[in-house]
Structure 1
Amino acid sequence: MDKNSLLLVVVLFFATANAQNSQSKERLWYKEPATKWMEALPVGNGRLGAMIFGQPINERIQLNEDSMWPGGPDWGDSKGTPEDLVYIRQLLKEGQYHKADEEIVTRFSNKGVVRSHQTMGDLYIDFSTKKVANYYRELDIETAVATTSYNSEGYNYTQEVFASAPHNVLIIRYTTTNPKGMDATLRMNRPKDEGFNTVQVSSPAPNQIQMKGMVTQNGGRLNSEAKPLDYGVKFDTRLVVKNNGGIVVSKDGILELKNVNEAVLLLVGSTSFYHGNNYESYNEQLLGQVQELSYNEMLSAHVADYQSLYKRVTLDLGGNEFNKIPTDERLKKIKDGGTDKALSALLFQYGRYLLISSSRPGTNPANLQGIWNEHIRAPWNADYHLNVNLQMNYWPAEVTNLSECHSPLFDYTDRLINRGRITAKDQYGIHRGAVIHHTSDIWAPAWMHAERAYWGAWIHGGGWLAQHYWEHYSYTNDIDFLKNRAWPAMKALAEFYLDWLIYDQDSKTWVSSPETSPENSYMAPDGTPAAVSHGAAMGHQIIGEVFNNTLKAASILKINDDFVQEVKSKLKKIHPGVVLGPDGRILEWTKPVEEPEKGHRHMSQLYALHPGISITQKTSAHFEAAKKTIDYRLQHGGAGTGWSRAWMINFNARLQDAVAAQTNIQKFLEISTADNLFDMHPPFQIDGNFGFTAGVAEMLMQSHEGFIRLLPALPESWDSGEVTGLKARGNIQVSIKWKEHTIERIELVSKEDTKATLVYKDRKKTISLSSNETIILNQYLKELTK
């Protein structure tokens, strides 16, 4: 058999296998190519990403890198003085709420140009193909490979794309059964920035394209006036072609493939953010290394690396017969009133896929769009919103057994804290600890950055992020992390709060002031909305949580100094974060007020329910009040965004309300899910994907009450199923199999000698676990023989 005949047999085999695999449960697949960005399929290695359109004639692969930002770390710093803080507090004391709204922005907000994460550009591949049949495209989230296949004039053509973390490269392979090979033209470009070219494209070698430039934001505005940013991260993107058969011709930054049987495209991208002035030489070195490897070597390494994370957790809810239907058609059936529990399981795993693909050790944390962004100026700048969105990105990290993917958030928060120490001292006159406000970007500014008080004058971004340090320890029992990473961060944020709180003579409590509730407002006495207040529920809940977790950490680390004693003292008299109003709902502010937006998307007063842990069945009055609070918001049109609906699923799970959880899952799929399963705010925000995944995990297993609760919110339609590999606090892996709504088998594996208490329905049992020993129990929590 000659070489071309052998290639024909191999490619035909894989094309047939791809078509058969469309029935596999963990893949997105379609009968048509993407015609717009929200239909394209994402791949990523944590830092480098791409959106695959799967166009058979004029293919577009949109490229991303996580450090593509304008500006730099040298931008200004805090604004305002301690005297300004005293003035704002006096305005609140006098009831001048609107004046406080105006003055807090005027005196404290550093209104710099809002910077945006940006696209790295596009790779275009134009084929000589004219007519296409048997079209098929998929994203296999079990292998993290995107495949497109079709037939043209009796011959098969296949495209495979993946982003390799081990080799830090995007890999694209084209194959055909046509004995004459295939012809294609390859070019790269990047959108203009307000009419300005942003890249230079050239061919440094006969089989290469180089696209390099500097990120700018010429559309920047400040106080409604033009203020262009003409500097930022420098970047270099290179593409090299390895061909089998035929030739590659280079001309003016364009590559032409002629009669090529197989082409492997290797694309690398590096920036000055990671590599300083050596970003171009880094690319040269990296290309030299990967060109020595075969496609199969790179694919094997990629799949092994990816599956070492992804395969830790499985979820089967049944209904897998729907996997025979294209993903977009399944969504349409749901929007038309149908149900598809297998799609819920797929969306759960898709969230894990996206986190692995957008957040790896050594990268930046996933932003509002993960790493996938086609814009020069993205919606909401694809930045880091710290009043729910960034935190929600990492809700599934621990419980779905992806602790390593959590690490970029800690690296970033450490940088925020360093900047926040300066902000606390200069802005508020607080000389210990750190404060972090509502929004930030890759350069980690911590100061107030707002044009309106209702969204920007919020000081608890750092306090909320402190929860993640404690949660990581709670799930991993990593004492080195607690001592060397978590404790310094938690202490810095607690120190700030100690000096921020003021004593309120009326309530005889420590109050956070000035305060806002994320992006919401209340009706001032004159009947118009105001934002700044003397205390608010979420702020007090977060401060109380920071103090509590800091004391827990101090106890474990055997620290009992003056700082610890001060935290204990103030915690005893901090204003309660959960206060019930006359109608039984939890107040969002310290006193009952009229709400201008009764169905607001944020549910800030329920932080203590989720992601906090202080509202549980044990606090029965608060538990019931949380239900009333949710009902009221939903009755007035709440949960209108994708991430808000995802948060609602987590609330429902914590309240053990399976019916409500299922209802909100259905609505998330009907209203907030695009054809490529991206969450729609709208437009696209990735936080909802991650929040959905976390919510499903919470429905199946919870461990925040000091014990492991099994199937706390199992929907009626999820009658039989199995989940494996979820992680409970205490570093215990939990697997559950159930049939007809009743557990058949529980499997526990601990990484160390410990005890665990299980709760299932009205049963409760404490068992001893030895390190790496598997314990199997039945529905009665009785141990079974293996």
Structure 2
Amino acid sequence: MADKIPKRGIWSYEPAIRWEDALVAGNGSHGVMVLGDPIRDTIIGNHCRLYLPQGNSHKIPNLAPYLKETRKIIKQEGYDKAIQFQYEKAKELGYQGLTMSDPFHPGFHLCVETEHENYQDYQRSINYQTGELHVSYKAGGQTFNRRTFVSQANNRIYHLLSPGNYKIYLQDYQHDKLKQTSFQDQNTLHTHFDYVYSSGGYDVMIRIESEQWTQLMNKTGYQIMSTSDILIEMQITPYHSLHSRQITKKPFHTINFSEQFEKHQLIHQEKFQRVELKLTSDEERLQSIDDIVIQAKKRHTISPVLLEKMYDAGRYMYICSSGELTPNLQGIWTGTFEPAWSGDFTFDTNVQLSIAAALSSNLLEGLEGYFGLIKELLPEFRENAQKYYGCRGIMAAIHASNTGKHFHWNEEWPLHFWTCGAGWLAHWFYEYYRFTGDKLFLKQEVIPLLKEIVLFYEDFLVEDPDGMYRFTPSYSAENGCADNATQDIAVAKQVLTNLIQACHILNISSDEISRWQDMLNRLPPYQINEDGALKEWLDNKEENYNHRHFSHLYPVFQSREFNERSQPEWWQASHVAFKKRLEAWLLNENGDTTSTHGRMHTALCATQFHMPELVEEVFQLLVKNNCFYTSLMMSHYDHQEVFNVDGNGALPQVIHEMLVDCSDGRLILLGALPASLTSGEIRGVRLPGQIMVNYLHWDLVDEAIELEITSDIAQELEIYLPLFKEAMLPNTYVKLEHRKREKIKINLQGRVN
């Protein structure tokens, strides 16, 4: 069994009692979860397209005719009255009130039962590097193994059982919004699921290869008896209507598990190995996750082995959950029909964090699913803009699954006043160009999307008497309404700036460019309050520092609009605002709520403000407060409450930025490296500007850095070590010596074709 312990992965000697602690794997379309014990294991099949229609009305109230009156009420009586007015009008128009999106749901539960009540030496593992799940134990003097993977090669789930006697059957869901019809064709289970409230549904095919099998009388399944390995092949096929339904046909050939796994492993492992972080030894890596976590909780500093595994878990999540679509709140996994917040695509911070490290982790193809999802939702985003504000262009919903229509709001949560979502989603379209230099993508995908967003702004923005624009209504995500929320302004700035730059890059001449530049010039400047902090709203609304969202710091953690040398006043004010948030929320035991996404944004801001102690504290809070499950998939709240992977997606980006970052013509090295991580290395990180970090090694004891980078284009970068300002650069490596050097520059020549 020892040879199955993964160096890059986790293993535990404790069975999983609940689905949140299951072993997980996926290929971007299918997901699988394995939980239970040798007596009764459960295999849960997931698919990225499975969202259960609830029968809710998807009619958006046409509030556009009431926008002028709403703005008048905001100006004269305030937002509370305006929100009340909007809600009453919406209800008159048939709006059913705040409605969750259709929930993400499991595709099937397959139960595997034995009589192995007396078992020993139990262990289960996830190999992040290969995508294999493995369970092993001893019973009756025999070793039993259960191996599972989701093929990256042929889009099916495979499960292999050691020889023995098993009862294998499919759970009947008995759900009032789902009709399940099953039949058995020799060694294959076919199950058809009809959605009650739509014409869609899905089919499940489960094929079992075994020496002997007999059909169970009272369940949909088989009694298995075999002296050789037993193979289970599973596939989920969703459809939107009966006309589009395609029945999965069983193959006529015998399946070789090893051959299928080898084909899968070649694809999965190549993706996983594109980057590599080394913080510890193989001896440390081979410990059980149970022991690693126990030891980490006793430390007063970061546990390098746990941090390395959490880093690997984040990239593993993304590889498993991206491709056909993009990770939802739960990645690609669920064991319940009632996940928190529907387990949907939540666009006011969560989706953005889940994909935060996609580009820097060199997992570019994963973003194809993200780009595809946004394009699928555009027709309904256009309807949102037209119905709520009478505007051309697009307005993103905050929650989406089967539809992108925005019907998730009420008086308490006026989320339809948050209009900057589409611009934030567009950030990754332009970033993809910055990382890759793909001008065809810039022309065909980025510019058309940015133009639609600007169309919305052209119709939505109003002018103040001084000619400056005003965002009204305006909402700082989940923290309150007031005109001119800082994030609204910051996102609009980024959209307009990127659109203008894209046209210049492609040598596009257009009268529109001068109009966009005029719009950019008329966006209101940020403001600083009496505390010296960047204001969250430019209106006179009182600041609420005790909150998990960091929306007004968008220019710091996301768009990188300014820094300490380009706009020192705004930078300092942002730093003050950040510290106020820390005092009132993150470091306050009486803070509003716990939130992994808030901690991740804290860490992303901390990398930009070069605050290594804070980065370390965020990592320690995740450990101290039990914010992850056995698989190292994270929870939204403390104490393993609500399975939620946005923290997994963001954590590798935090580590990348604390080690190596590129912004404003500077290559920033060890910008937020905690002192407790005295040495380590990382390979394969991508940076904007078509730069690849082939190798970075640091050793704080020897005061040395080794760095190898390449660039696809010729450029000059200034090397910046904010924590080691007296460093100097010899010809072949950076050595930290106590001799002052103000600027260290390198010239990158670009690739020769």
TM-score by length of 2: 0.90
- Name the CA shift for 1:448/1:34 in 2 (closer, same or farther; >3 Å): closer
1:441 matched to 2:401? The reply is yes
2:580 maps to: 632
User: What's 1:653 paired with?
Assistant: 607
Q: What is the rounded CA distance, in whole Å, between the counterparts of 1:75 and 1:463 in structure 2?
A: 27
Contact 1:70 1:233 survives alignment (8 Å): no
8 A contact 2:313–2:633 mirrored in 1 = no
Residue 199 of structure 1 aligns with an amino acid whose one-letter code is: Q
Q: Deviations over 1:431-462 (max 9, x none)?
A: x3222232222322256654534444312221
Who is 2:187 aligned against? Answer: 207
The residue type paired with residue 626 of structure 1 is S
Contact 2:665 2:718 in 1 (8 A): no
Q: CA deviation at 1:674?
A: 2.6
User: Among 68, 75, 87, which residue is 1:93 paired with?
Assistant: 75
Match of 2:730 in 1: none
- Per the TM alignment, residue 558 of structure 1 is displaced from its structure 2 partner at its CA by 1.8
1:641 maps to which residue? 595
Return 441-450 or 233-242, whichever deviates more: 441-450
Q: Is the 8 A contact 1:313 1:401 kept in 2?
A: yes
Task: State the distance in 2 between where 1:730 and 1:651 align.
Answer: 21
Report if aligned partners of 1:331, 1:669 keep a CA contact under 8 Å in 2: yes
Give 1:509's aligned residue: 468
Q: Is the 1:722–1:737 Cα contact (8 Å) retained in structure 2? A: yes
Residues 292, 768 of structure 1: alpha-carbon distance in 2 compared, 3 angstrom cutoff: same
Query: Whole-Å Cα distance in 2 between the matches of residues 772 and 294 of structure 1?
Result: 44
Q: Which moved more, 1:625-634 or 1:694-703?
A: 625-634
1:377, CA displacement in angstroms? Answer: 2.1
Is contact 1:64–1:373 with CA below 8 Å preserved after alignment?
yes
Counterpart-to-counterpart distance in 2, 1:332 and 1:111: 48
Q: Matched residues in 2 for 1:581 and 1:382: separation? A: 37
Aligned to 2:318: 355
Moved more, 722-731 or 618-627: 618-627
Provide the C-alpha distance between the structure 2 equivalents of 1:459 and 1:267, rounded to a whole number of angstroms. 42
Residue type of the alignment partner of 2:547: H
State the Cα distance separating 1:738 from its structure 2 match. 1.3
Decide which of 327, 338, 341 is 1:380's aligned counterpart. Answer: 341
| Separation (CA, whole Å) in 2 of partners of 1:728 and 1:236 | 42
Larger displacement relative to structure 2 (455-464 or 106-115): 106-115
Shift of 1:184: 0.2
Does residue 518 of structure 2 align to residue 564 of structure 1? no
Task: Tell me the matched-pair count.
Answer: 712
State how 1:296-695 maps to structure 2 within 5 Å: 296-318=258-280, 321-337=283-299, 339-360=302-323, 363-430=324-391, 432-446=392-406, 449-450=409-410, 452-505=412-465, 508-521=467-480, 531=481, 533-576=482-525, 578-595=526-543, 597-618=544-565, 619-638=567-586, 640-671=594-625, 672-682=627-637, 683-695=642-654
> Which string of whole-angstrom CA distances, capped at 9 and with x for unpartnered residues, describes residues 564-607 of structure 1?
2211001011012x321111111111134334x53211111111
Pairwise CA distance, 1:337: 4.2
Which of the numbers 636, 642, 657 marks the counterpart of 1:698? Answer: 657
- Supply the distance in 1 between the matched residues of 2:409 and 2:49 (Cα, whole angstroms): 21
2:751 to 766, 771, 779: 771
State whether structure 2 residue 108 is matched by structure 1 residue 121: yes
- Shift of the alpha carbon at 1:555? 0.9
Distance apart, 1:341 and its partner CA: 1.3
* 2:397–2:404 CA contact under 8 A, matched in 1: no
Q: Is the CA contact (8 Å cut-off) linking 2:406 and 2:416 kept in structure 1?
A: no
Q: Does 1:277 align with 2:251?
A: no
SS at 1:325 equivalent: coil
- Structure 1 residues 744 and 96: CA distance shift in structure 2, 3 A: closer
Q: What is the aligned counterpart of 1:133 among 114, 120, 125?
A: 120
3-state SS of paired residue (1:673) = coil
What's the secondary structure of 1:472's corresponding residue?
helix
**Displacement after TM superposition at 1:643 (Å):** 1.1
Cα distance in 1 between the residues matched to 2:56 and 2:242: 15
> Which of 666, 673, 682 is equivalent to 1:714?
673
Aligned twin of 1:65: 47
The answer on whether the counterparts of 2:63 and 2:86 sit within 8 Å (CA) in structure 1 is no
Aligned residue for 1:239? 206
Matched residues in 2 for 1:268 and 1:477: separation?
Answer: 37
CA contact under 8 A between 1:111 and 1:449: conserved in structure 2? no
Deviations along 1:298-355, whole A, 9 cap, x unmatched? Answer: 1011111112211100001126543343213322333344541121111111111101
Task: Label 1:451 to 1:147 Cα distance change in 2 as closer, same or farther (>3 A).
Answer: farther
The one-character-per-residue Cα deviations of 1:744-777 (angstroms, maximum 9, x if unpaired) are 3211233x3422414142542131333279xxxx
Mapped pair 1:189 → 2:144: no
**Are the aligned partners of 2:178 and 2:194 in contact in 1 as well (CA < 8 Å)?**
no
Contact 1:417 1:489 in 2 (8 A): no
> 2:491, 2:631 → 1: CA distance?
35
Kept after mapping to 1: 8 A contact 2:359/2:435: yes
Question: Are the aligned partners of 1:210 and 1:253 in contact in 2 as well (CA < 8 Å)?
Answer: no
The offset of 1:77, in angstroms, is: 4.3
Equivalent-residue separation in structure 2 for 1:613 and 1:381 (angstroms):
32
Whether the 8 Å CA contact 1:423–1:447 is kept in 2: the answer is no
> Is the Cα–Cα contact under 8 Å of residues 472 and 484 in structure 2 kept in the other structure?
yes
Residue pair 1:476, 1:730 contacting (<8 A) in 2 also: yes
For the structure 1 residues 559 and 276, does the alpha-carbon distance in structure 2 shift closer, same or farther, using more than 3 Å as the test?
farther
For the Cα contact (< 8 Å) 1:649–1:664, is it kept in 2?
A: yes
The alignment's TM-score, normalised by the length of structure 1, stands at: 0.86
RMSD between aligned alpha carbons?
A: 2.3
SS in 2 for 1:675: coil
| Alignment-derived partner of residue 132 in structure 2 | 145
SS class of match (2:267): helix
1:747 to 708, 717, 720: 708
Q: Which ranges of structure 2 fall in alignment gaps of 5 or more residues?
A: 587-592, 726-742
CA 105–698 in structure 1, closer or farther in 2 if over 3 Å, else same: farther
Q: Which runs of 5+ in 1 are unaligned?
A: 1-14, 176-180, 217-229, 522-530, 774-786
**Residue pair 1:34, 1:53 contacting (<8 A) in 2 also:** yes
For residues 563 and 90 of structure 2, the distance between their equivalents in structure 1, rounded to whole angstroms, comes to: 38
Q: CA deviation at 1:247?
A: 4.2
* CA distance 1:319–1:667, change in 2 (3 Å): farther
